[in-house]
Every structure is written in structure tokens, then in C-alpha cells.
């Protein structure tokens, strides 16, 4: 399913990738507006009393912040969490599957890319970007991977996502997606059990709202 290039161990020893594959998600999958409201309230209770400085000391935020700082970037999921806590960011307009992933991502603070697995050529490969790899981002912009960043390519050597540039457009989750692969990028410092436990929570959330769905794989690669 996923191979690690030798470059990863040399450049970023201790890095991990969490993979969750769920198939046969019901087309009418929905979390409902009440559930979204409840989840946001829970996030406010969990994180709302903390300052940005305090949040950045919490794992896994601290490890992500350290990684992004190498490239003169800040961790975007932290900014997205803060916007949600301040009611500045809404998930309306997103598919229910994306809403579920984004709410879970804000809760766990694990950087996650979601893909329609039917659009991927398996197996996947985690490697380190040379800075020459180009692909179409989810926002339809042409982007080039950043030298030294972690990227995932498929069997045809297409980049499907990178930490700094995000997921590609071709394999994005759409309203019609029923078979999905969630990929957690975990740079050095993030605990394997934390990744696994939180992926199990994501699996549970989806299966509760789509009893027809089946979990095909849940694994942390290192």
C-alpha cells in the first residue's frame, strides 16, 4: 500500500504516515448540522481557553510547527482551528465526508489529506521532494513541491499530496466519492499510538453515519 523511500529515513528519521481506507460509504452520507454544531462546541471547550502560545506547546501541534518552521511557514491547521473557535470559518458548502474529516482534523490536529481511492494508482510511495515535482492542487492551481518536503506519489509517479502544498485535484473527495483513503502526515515527534487511536475515532464517526461502509485498512507506516 505504501513504501518509504530511503531518502525519508535519511532526511526525516522518525516520520510516519497513517492510512485509513474505508469503502462503500453511502452516497447519502451526512453528519447533519446539529452534529457539526455539537462538534464545534466541543472543540471550543477543548481548545478555546488556550492562547496561541499555549496551543503551540501541545502535541502534535508542536511537532508540526517545528516542521513548518524549517520552511518559514506556520502550521495551517492551527490557524484553521483558531478561525473555527472564533466563528470565522464555516464548513458549509463542503461535502459531509469532507466536513467529517475537517472536524476530526481540528480535534486531533493531525494533518490529513483525503483522496478518492478509485482515482489512485496503488501502491503509494512516500519520498522527499527535489523541488521539481509539479501537480495541480485541489484549488486548481499549478504548484511545485518544495525541496525537502514530504510528498506522496502513486505508482505512475503522480504527486497526490505534499505537506506544504496540500492534496492534488484529481483524487479529491467529491460528493460522489464512496471509497476513500485518508492519509495522515506525521513528521518526527508524533506518537504512533496517537495517530492510530485518532484514526480509529475517524473510522467510528464514518461508520456510525454509514452502516454500509467497511474499513479495509487502518495502519501506521514508519
Q: Cβ of 92: how many Cβ atoms within 10 Å? A: 7
pLDDT at 33: 63
pLDDT at 59: 97
> Exposed, middle or buried, 16 (CB in 10 Å: 0-12/13-18/19+)?
buried
Q: Cβ of 63: how many Cβ atoms within 10 Å? A: 18
Q: Cβ of 53: how many Cβ atoms within 10 Å? A: 7
Which domains are assigned to the chain? 2-221 (3.50.40.10)
In this prediction the pTM is 0.94
94-108 burial code (b ≥16 CB/10 A, e <16): bbbbbbbbbbbbbbb
Does a cis peptide bond (omega within 30 degrees of 0) precede residue 191? no
> 3-class SS at 53?
helix
- The count of C-alpha atoms lying within 13 angstroms of the C-alpha of 18, restricted to the half-sphere facing its C-beta, is 27
pLDDT at 92: 58
Q: Cβ of 120: how many Cβ atoms within 10 Å? A: 20
d(CA 206, CA 97): 8
Does a cis peptide bond (omega within 30 degrees of 0) precede residue 3? no
Residue 194 in contact with residue 39, Cβ under 8 Å?
Answer: no
As averages over each run of 10 residues, the pLDDT of the chain (222 residues) reads 95 98 91 77 94 96 98 96 84 79 96 97 98 96 98 97 98 95 98 98 94 96 95
Strand order in the sheet with 124-128: 2-4, 124-128, 150-153, 159-162, 166-167
pLDDT at 154: 96
Amino acid at each position: 500500500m505504501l513504501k518509504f523511500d530511503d531518502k525519508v529515513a535519511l532526511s526525516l528519521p522518525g516520520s510516519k504516515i497513517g492510512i485509513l481506507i474505508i469503502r462503500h460509504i453511502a452516497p447519502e452520507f451526512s453528519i447533519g448540522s446539529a452534529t457539526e454544531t455539537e462538534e464545534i462546541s466541543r472543540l471550543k471547550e477543548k481548545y478555546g481557553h488556550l492562547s496561541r502560545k499555549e496551543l503551540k506547546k501541545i502535541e502534535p501541534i508542536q511537532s508540526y510547527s517545528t516542521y513548518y518552521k524549517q520552511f518559514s511557514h506556520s502550521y495551517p491547521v492551527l490557524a484553521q482551528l483558531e478561525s473555527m473557535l472564533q466563528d470565522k470559518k464555516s464548513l458549509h458548502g463542503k461535502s459531509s465526508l469532507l466536513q467529517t474529516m475537517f472536524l476530526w482534523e481540528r480535534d486531533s490536529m493531525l494533518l490529513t489529506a483525503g483522496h478518492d481511492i478509485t482515482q489512485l494508482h496503488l501502491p503509494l510511495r512516500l519520498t522527499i521532494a527535489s523541488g521539481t515535482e509539479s501537480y495541480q492542487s485541489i484549488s486548481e492551481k499549478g504548484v511545485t513541491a518544495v525541496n525537502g518536503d514530504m510528498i506522496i506519489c502513486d505508482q505512475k509517479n503522480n504527486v497526490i499530496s505534499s505537506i506544504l502544498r496540500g492534496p492534488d485535484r484529481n483524487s479529491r473527495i467529491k460528493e460522489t466519492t464512496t471509497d476513500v483513503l485518508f492519509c495522515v502526515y506525521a513528521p518526527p515527534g508524533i506518537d504512533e499510538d496517537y495517530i492510530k487511536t485518532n484514526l480509529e475515532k475517524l473510522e467510528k464517526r464514518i461508520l456510525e453515519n454509514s452502516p454500509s461502509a467497511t474499513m479495509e485498512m487502518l495502519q501506521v507506516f514508519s
